[in-house]
Amino acid sequence: MDGNIHHLTQWDCDWLFQTTNPILAWAIQGELNVDHLVGALRKAVSSEAPWLGGRLVLHEKQNPRYSIRFPSSTSPGSALELFNVTVFESKDRDLQDLVPVYVPAGQANPVVNRCNTGRLPCLTQLDPFLVTADEAARQGKPLLHLHFVRARDLWMVCLAWRHVVMDATTLRQVVAAWERQLASGAPLKSEKATPRPTLSKLAETLEIRDEDATFPGWSRVSPLNMIGLLARAKLFDKQSFGYPGTLGTVYIPPAIVKKWVTEVAAELGEGEQVSRNDIVAAWYYKTAWAVFAPGTETTLTRAVNLRGRHDHIPADATGNVLGLAAMPPRYSQTLPTASLAELALASRGAVRKSIEPDHVMAFMRFLGYRARTGQLAVPGTTPFSRRCLLSSYVNLGLTTPNFGPGLEVRAVLQLTSDPMVTRVIDDRDGGWRLHGRLPNVAWDAIERALQGEMGELGLW
């Protein structure tokens, strides 16, 4: 941090993050004190990430495109709010009536709920926050928004943030500090801010060359390609291009996940290993992307945390420190016959490749070239590939934070209103949730597949 400026990097300012404002929420049982949670988060932000109390500054036609400024009136420790706080109350209705995507952890049956979370009345107070990074900079909007929903049976605590300033791993650092402030109901204490490293030093020293214009498994989006994509977007649904779709959430119960783990383990060869994360991602891709017309190229790409994967990337770096593990493309008609183990192994192989030190630096240079030149590129051999983009919050410790004595987290929810990627998170009881935008035919396919899985278990 330089004076009252927190420098963002070219990787923070990637176009993928400029329009995204993730929303993570927790359904909580117990008597919640709003003022106590707000005060604790304020102290947590001041101690763990004081730059989150600043405001975005737009640097048009520059790279990086944004920085964060602390004017004297909003500097860390000032009397002004570091973030917005809103409360919605509906004490005559249960949370599931207000938020249909809410499913308690440990539920026995699968749930597929198509629901545009951006149109739920209990979340409309978030609307002013959900703008692009450019708009946020011009309007001086905060970087965080804390929203409470008070239902008859439960509370829901929603935390929204601007993706351009941090990823979920950085969010975890903030939530951990929030938990410390709330631990055991102890009196709130101010902690001295602990500076954490960013990728600014890497940005200053990384040499970007002309040969970094391309990267294996990625295709450049030319101006002509962009015209074609925009034309299709106007003719069809803006996200689905001829396959009208909607937002939704799928909950996969523990019994089905255990079944997949057992089946995949039986197919793996000696020394082969995959995680539950690999298996769930493979099943989602196999099921939902098989709906496209034969001959359609599809790709499975997963966000990967690159912290500590290279000597120049600190393990505790803040900001956006993400790579993308792109599996080799597959045609849609091959997915139904591909085994879950085969797809999970292929995805795991892509993840392993993406965290090799040489690969990490090559990818960071590639992203740097894109940022410097304004070039767009996407996974796949063609810009028109149907991309399955997954961002996993698994194993980050965000599933069941400790909000203090007498408060129990019943479920964690993803509420992002117009996601460009599908977000994945695991429950404490072994269930899994995926939240994203899919064609209606893909939601139909997921429902049929999960019913079939329950039938095989004798539970449907």
Q: What is the rounded CA–CA span in Å between residue 451 and residue 109?
A: 9
* Superfamily of structural domain 202-396+416-456: Chloramphenicol acetyltransferase-like domain (3.30.559.10)
Residue 189: exposure state from Cβ atoms within 10 A (0-12, 13-18, ≥19): exposed
Closest C-alpha among 23, 12, 431 to residue 247:
23
Whether 5-200 and 202-396+416-456 share one fold: the answer is yes
Peptide bond preceding 121: is omega within 30 degrees of 0, i.e. cis? no
User: Where along the chain do its domains lie?
Assistant: 5-200, 202-396+416-456
Closest C-alpha among 106, 85, 142, 113 to residue 27:
106
Confidence (pTM)? 0.92
Q: What is the rounded CA–CA span in Å between residue 460 and residue 452?
A: 8
Fold designation for 5-200: Chloramphenicol Acetyltransferase (3.30.559)
Q: What is the rounded CA–CA span in Å between residue 302 and residue 434?
A: 13
What does each of the 460 residues of the chain score in pLDDT, given as a tens digit? 455 788 899 899 988 899 999 999 999 999 999 999 999 999 999 888 888 989 999 999 888 999 998 755 444 444 457 899 999 999 999 999 999 989 888 889 999 999 888 889 999 999 999 999 999 999 999 999 999 999 999 999 999 999 999 999 999 999 999 999 998 555 556 555 667 788 888 888 888 899 999 998 888 887 666 666 555 544 444 445 567 888 999 999 999 999 999 999 999 999 999 999 999 999 999 999 999 999 999 999 999 999 999 999 999 999 999 999 999 999 999 999 999 999 999 999 999 999 999 999 999 999 888 888 888 888 888 888 899 999 999 888 898 899 999 999 999 999 998 778 999 999 888 999 999 999 999 999 999 999 999 999 998 7
On whether the CB atoms of residues 450 and 141 are closer than 8 A, the answer is no
